[in-house]
Amino acid sequence: MKLRINKNDLQEGISAAIRATTSNSTQTILSNLFITAKNDSIQIIGNNLELYIETKEIYADVYEEGTICLDAKLFYEIVKKAQGIDIQITVEKNNSVIITSNKRQMKMHGIDASDFPLITHEIGPRFNMESRILCDLLKQTIYAISSDNAKPILTGSLIEVENNLIKTVGCDMFRMAYNYAKIKDVKQAIRVIVAKKSLVETINFLSEDEDVEIQVTQKYIVLELDKYRITSRFIEGEYINYNNIFNEQNAKTTAKINRKEFINVLECALLLASKEACIGKVSKATLKIEKGQITTKVNNEHGALIEETTAEIEGKELEIIFNTKYLLEALSVIKDDEVTMHFGGELSPCIIQGNGNNKHLVVPMMPAKK
């Protein structure tokens, strides 16, 4: 393989595909990028067996066609520090790779590309939607996804499509986030679970002004963008039934509160609570919901906080303890100025809503002592 390519184009392609590589596997090939040169372009692919990112065709002057696998991190650093506008890449018979830019010549060792786990793309139901909307759906639910591998099914987000709606759900048994958006021309119902790590990387590719085509096959969900194709493997299993969990209509106490003001209070509470977390304790804050206000209290060996926040309260007074971080994360992804908090009682979850389609549920830690 021998080619010449614009440095910036090559670096952009490597920066995208490298997100799907991993150095935490016994399979060395997964820390490599697959590079193929054909006709007048190259393609770069990364695959960590959960996430598969491939660039669309990147223009290059291809003198000899071929394929090679290169260590992703080393290749990226060499290209990043390359001088000049263009880079020449030559693969020798022993898989040694010569990378030339201006007066600099560097050599790195490649791996035979036949060992790389390429994916054969299948055909499945597909639909189109705005990248901006998909990005919002994921951002408003992804924070609640579990990191506990003991329950693999909760380490991913449920993505459900039916009746021209796309829904996303994240849950870790202590909190849950739900959102939905309207879409068009969906002919087949879809229900899949996609790993959090894959979704975090996917968000980086979703722009404000681009549409995305989404296709679902037997094992993968595939996002087609202008420059990239992003393929994520499903997590197998049955997701929990979330339909009857958001029962805010049964709330005994409802509070409408300025979101930014309450976030500021919780951030101050977290200053003290974070010290608790550093020594293995969960950060916690007591909320006293009473006429016209929510009073937030933190009291531990590192200090204390008490602050009143104006709120519109309906229902019975209540005192309840929450994980400060969980409340703060839920409020932070909502975009509206005002939120409504629904409380079912001292042992019941709090449901938080803005004016949009998203709902957020946080389970209390324990009843406050009388």
**pLDDT tens-digit series, residues 127-162:** 999 999 999 999 999 999 999 888 999 999 999 999
Say how far apart CA 271 and CA 276 lie, in whole Å: 9
Going from the C-alpha of 350 to that of each of 50, 243, 282, 289, 355, the distances in angstroms are: 34, 16, 18, 12, 17
Q: What is the biggest distance separating any 2 CA atoms in the chain, rounded to whole angstroms?
A: 79
Q: Can you read off the two tokens belonging to residue 178?
A: 């739900």
- Residue owning tokens 């209290």: 297
Q: Is 242 inside a domain boundary?
A: no
Verify that 77 and 42 share a domain, yes or no: yes
Domain extent, residue 60, equals 2-115
Verify that 252 and 351 share a domain, yes or no: yes
Domain boundary among 91, 115, 139: 115
Which residues have a Cβ under 8 Å from the Cβ of 127 and sit 6 or more positions away? 161, 183, 184, 185, 186, 213, 214
Verify that 254 and 363 share a domain, yes or no: yes
Verify that 158 and 265 share a domain, yes or no: no
Q: State the average pLDDT over residues 350-355.
A: 93
Domain boundary among 94, 115, 136: 115
The predicted structure's pLDDT at residue 287: 95
Verify that 104 and 133 share a domain, yes or no: no
Say how far apart CA 6 and CA 346 lie, in whole Å: 62
Domain boundary among 115, 139, 167: 115
Average pLDDT, the chain: 92
Instruction: Give exposure, 269-302, as e/b (b: 16+ Cβ within 10 Å).
Output: bbebbeebeeeeeebbbbbbbbeebbbbbbeeee
Three-state SS at 214: strand
Q: State the average pLDDT over residues 270-299.
A: 79
Q: Is 241 inside a domain boundary?
A: no
pLDDT band at 1 (very low <50, low <70, confident <90, very high): very high
Report angle CA 203, 204, 205 to the nearest 5 degrees: 90
CATH code: domain of residue 58: 3.10.150.10
Verify that 136 and 110 share a domain, yes or no: no
Q: Can you read off the two tokens belonging to residue 234?
A: 């499903």
pTM for this structure? 0.89
Q: State the Rg of the chain over Cα.
A: 25
DSSP conformation class of 141:
H
- Residue owning tokens 């500021």: 264
The predicted structure's pLDDT at residue 68: 97
Verify that 195 and 253 share a domain, yes or no: no
